[in-house]
Amino acid sequence: MSLAPQYDAWADRFEAALMPTYGRPPVALARGEGCAVWDVDGKRYLDFIAGIAVSSLGHAHPALVEAVSRQVATIAHTSNLFLHQPEVLLAEKLLALLGHEGRVFFTNSGTEANEAAFKLVRRHAAGTGRGFVVAALDGFHGRTMGALALTGKAAIREPFAPFGVDVRFVPYGDAAALKEAVTDECAGLFLEPALGEGGVVPAPDGYLAAAREICDATGAVFVLDEIQSGIGRTGWWFAHARDDVRPDVLTLAKGLGGGLPIGACIGVGEFGTTFDKSEHGSTFGGNPVACAAALAVLETIERDDLLGNAATIGGELADGIATLSHPLLGGVRGRGLWLAAVLTQPRAAAVQAAAQDAGFLVNAVQPDAVRLAPPLVVTITEVQALLDAFPAILDAGLEREA
């Protein structure tokens, strides 16, 4: 008899009713509280992936529940025909956190934030003859056509070509390659401050500053995609703040809404007014409920010093992994609560499955990298539980079929 009868039944129905884009998901989640989640058969897990760096306050956080419940009971939707207070408050708050003048455009997702940024870059370049943009190999910017065109992984991008835009790819982290590619004819440069889907690979020190300099010298628009790295994940509100680099355009999503769908494209300085009236829009973008959720996320991060928590607890997690000695473990990379345990063999899928058996949700982000991105509220006790279990998980990852 199956040990997970509810899972089996729901996964069969999932596969029959949903497009096969996600395969057969390994767990069917029913509910969560803090960093713990329970599946439909009642098994408890500690969540070390937070819905891909999204559930920044963990699950069912009272501040999020209260803000969303209050907003949905007040007014759930206005469309962009009318303004609502949460969007104004949130835009003001994001600009204050960023520390630059600018303007915000709200979206529902990360890919839409990058679509807005891409359109903004092209609008800025209109009439200048600047015909191409530059992005990084192994970078990831989303799955809609514009963001996909910028995504530097051929296997994801090429089945959907052509895109009708000239995107030139450079190796990530190589400032000399950037200098060669970003010329006076370049309209814009799209970079992540660390490759997220590429395996949580931070940029080398000085790389973002070099990118800024090159864009200043050539007039290309510097777009930083902080959709995964932003909103406290690295122990900074924005990962680029550590490098003291100013982007021209910043895109956000994931952790901003703490689980409610929202993204943002922020134009810094003059780029705040590149779009004119009617040049971009979204019916749902900046929806009152999503904005109320995001405000609650930002207030809670501030009130509970979750940036400090991400830095210190993330440091403990990274140090704990670094000191483990295991033949499958090659090291750890990343910052704050955004880490990858690097494997010596391409066994990440097996490690993910072994972790799941042991009651931990982690993510095989690359064949040889296991991503850890727990809620920003994770405690040292929860981190210690994973560290205690990790050697046995790695043992099983070496032995089991992925």
Binding site for ligand PLP (CB under 6 A): 52, 109-111, 114, 140-142, 192, 196-197, 225, 227-228, 253
Which region holds residue 36: left if phi is over 0, alpha if psi is between -120 and 50, else beta? beta
Least distance (Å) from ligand PLP to the CB of residue 392? 30
Query: Which positions ≥6 away from 28 have C-beta within 8 Å?
Result: 6, 7, 10, 11, 14, 39, 40
Which of residues 294 and 328 has its CB atom nearest to ligand PLP in the complex?
Answer: 294
- Closest separation in Å from C-beta 139 to ligand PLP: 8
- Would you tell me how many other CB atoms lie within 10 Å of the CB of residue 338? 27
Handedness of CA 285, 232, 171, 129 (dihedral sign): positive
Residues near 209 by Cβ (< 8 Å), separated by ≥ 6?
A: 243, 244, 245
Please state, in angstroms and as integers, the Cα–Cα distance from residue 248 to each residue in 96, 100, 212, 387, following that order. 16, 10, 9, 40
Establish whether 140 is a catalytic residue: yes
CB of 365 to ligand PLP, least distance (A): 10
List the Cα angle 272/273/276 in 5-degree steps.
Answer: 140
Known active-site residue 284: no
Q: How far is CA 395 from CA 158, 230, 260, in A?
A: 37, 33, 37
Q: How far apart are CB 42 and ligand PLP at their closest, in Å? A: 30
Name the minimum Å distance from CB 52 to ligand PLP.
Answer: 6
Catalytic residue of the set 118, 140, 222, 390 = 140
Listed residue (22, 24, 48, 21) closest to 34, CA to CA: 48
Tell me the closest approach of the beta carbon of residue 380 to ligand PLP, in angstroms: 27
Closer residue to ligand PLP, CB minimum distance, 148 or 215: 148
In the set 39, 138, 225, 248, the catalytic residue is 225
Q: Which is nearer to ligand PLP, 71 or 114 (CB)?
A: 114
Token pair, residue 305, equals 């010093």
Residue nearest to ligand PLP (CB): 110
Task: Pick the catalytic residue from 254, 271, 275, 368.
Answer: 254
Q: Based on CB atoms, which residue is closest to ligand PLP, 43 or 143?
A: 143
Pair of tokens at residue 276 = 């004119």
Residue 57 or 262 with smaller CB distance to ligand PLP = 262
Q: Is the peptide bond before 20 cis (omega within 30 degrees of 0)?
A: no
Strands 329-335 and 338-343: antiparallel
Is 254 one of the annotated active-site residues of the chain? yes
Q: Which is nearer to ligand PLP, 36 or 52 (CB)?
A: 52
Would you please indicate which residues are annotated as catalytic (active-site) residues? 140, 225, 254
